[in-house]
Amino acid sequence: MGILNSSIGRKFAMALSALFLMVFLLQHFAINILSVFSADAFNTASHFMGTFWAVQYLLQPILIFGVIFHFVMGFVLEIKNSRARKISYAKNNGGANSTWMSRNMIWSGAAILAFIILHFIDFWIPEINTKYILGDMSGMHNGELRYFHELVEKFHSPIRVTAYVVAFVFLALHLLHGFSSAFQSVGANNKYTEGLKKFAKVYAIGIPLGFIFIALFHHFTGH
């Protein structure tokens, strides 16, 4: 933990947790998009992820640690950085030299945290309750796998869908800076950086847009 006492160590740890979360997000999207094409495929993939031991007992704890670490460290860094400038400028033209996204990671991050709390209440906590409190690992409800039905049911509410859409807009803003920033933090700034920045834009806009599409699709089709 000694490395976390240095500014570069903290930066490196933030970047590693961010890279892990971005891989997780891609995997999450790959499974969710199945729900648009095939309820059976979505059910099968969800049941596998929800019951396979390596996912449940290995990857899930790492993911939860990664999420908590990224948020806690983000807020810690924000507090430390605010101490590094106790008196603000009377006039500061931040837009002249940096993007809004890069200057407001804490706010886009806070919006994403609020969404994750909602998301946990919606899906994760009921899932843990069913599997590990009630002990029902079958994934079945009324004779069929329950995951697709639960997903569609959640997206009936226009308020929830609106919250999801807004949250994913903030996620896109967060990723527009965070994706390439993570690579810079681990020391990767070279001839591939320009290409990486272009890919970062595709990822940062494409993945959240995909999640928004899934929410809107189920809301309007109501399958």
Site for other proteins, rule CB under 8 A: 3, 6-12, 77, 80-81, 83-94, 96-99, 102-103, 105, 177, 180-181, 184-190
Q: Tell me how far apart the alpha carbons of residues 206 and 69 are, in angstroms, rounded to a whole number.
A: 25
Phi, psi of 145 (to 5 degrees): -60, 135
CB-wise, 39 or 204, nearer to other proteins?
Answer: 204
Q: Shortest gap between Cβ of 112 and other proteins (angstroms)? A: 16
- Look at residues 48, 36, 27, 24 and name the one whose alpha carbon lies nearest to residue 148: 36
Helix axes 147-154, 39-51, angle to 10 degrees: 110
Q: Which is nearer to other proteins, 70 or 146 (CB)?
A: 70
Nearer to other proteins, 4 or 202 (CB): 4
Q: What distances in angstroms separate CA 166 from CA 106, 126, 134, 177, 206, one per listed residue?
A: 16, 23, 34, 18, 15
Question: H helices of the chain, where?
Answer: 7-32, 34-37, 39-51, 53, 60-83, 100-103, 105-119, 125-128, 147-154, 158-185, 193-221
Residue 38 or 189: which CB sits closer to other proteins? Answer: 189
Q: For the CB of residue 11, give the shortest distance to other proteins in the complex, in Å.
A: 6
- Nearest approach, Cβ of 172 to other proteins (angstroms)? 18
Measured from the CB of residue 24, what is the shortest distance to other proteins in angstroms? 21
Q: Which is nearer to other proteins, 93 or 142 (CB)?
A: 93
CB of 59 to other proteins, least distance (A): 25
